[in-house]
Structure 1
Amino acid sequence: MKKGNPDSLIPFTIDLTFEEARRRAEVVTALGPDWDPVAVLQGEDEAYALLYSGLDAEQQRTYDLLVASGVLPGRGPGRATAH
């Protein structure tokens, strides 16, 4: 066998499926039984709306420019940025 020859390498694979399932189960356990994902998302939407409420005209133009350029997500459902 020649050193550095890809044909002489021994393939190595590892399946992380079980470990990923265990990690996810630990996350859900840590969140606890009172975790309400719908309430969390509603709270985030309310905070986002409050953050960008009461803008003056110049701030609103800047906000609109940032939304149009994809830097900030727009208002409403599916607010994820394009990037």
Structure 2
Amino acid sequence: MNQDNADALIPFTLDLTFDEARRRTEVMAALGPDWDPVAALQGEDEAYALLYSGLDAEQQRTYDMLVAAGVLPGEGPGRAPSH
């Protein structure tokens, strides 16, 4: 594009602030007044513990290797993969 064509362009901006506020309001409305974020996180922790419980020795070694490599989160709070 040459400079003459670039000067003819009209700047375009889009402010999504209102749409983002509306989206967040709709998400909270969909969750409902009985939604308990602490209970939801506790349920996720329980599900995670159940998912990796009862592993045999080979599965446990593989799990430990993936945790050490940062592919899977380890135990404890803030279990986020390191990569």
Tell me the SS of whatever aligns to 1:22. Answer: helix
Structure-2 residue corresponding to 1:71: 71
Per-residue displacement from partner, 1:19-67 (whole Å, max 9, x unpaired)?
Answer: 1001100110011011001000000001101111121211110000011
What is the CA RMSD across the aligned residues, in angstroms? 1.7
Structure-2 residue corresponding to 1:50: 50
Tell me the SS of whatever aligns to 1:67. Answer: helix
Aligned runs of 1:2-81 on 2, under 5 Å?
5-81=5-81
Bigger CA drift: 24-33 or 46-55? 46-55
Give the residue type in structure 1 aligned to 2:74: G
Give the gaps of 5 or more residues in structure 2.
none
1:3 CA drift (Å): 8.6
State the alpha-carbon separation in 1 of the partners of residues 6 and 45 from structure 2. Answer: 52
After the TM superposition, list the runs of 4 or more consecutive aligned residues in structure 1 that deviate by more than 4 angstroms.
Answer: none
| Percentage of pairs with the same residue | 80
Taking structure 2 as the reference length, the TM-score comes to 0.89
1:11 CA drift (Å): 0.2
State the alpha-carbon separation in 2 of the partners of residues 5 and 65 from structure 1. Answer: 56
Q: How many residues in Structure 1 have an aligned counterpart in Structure 2?
A: 82
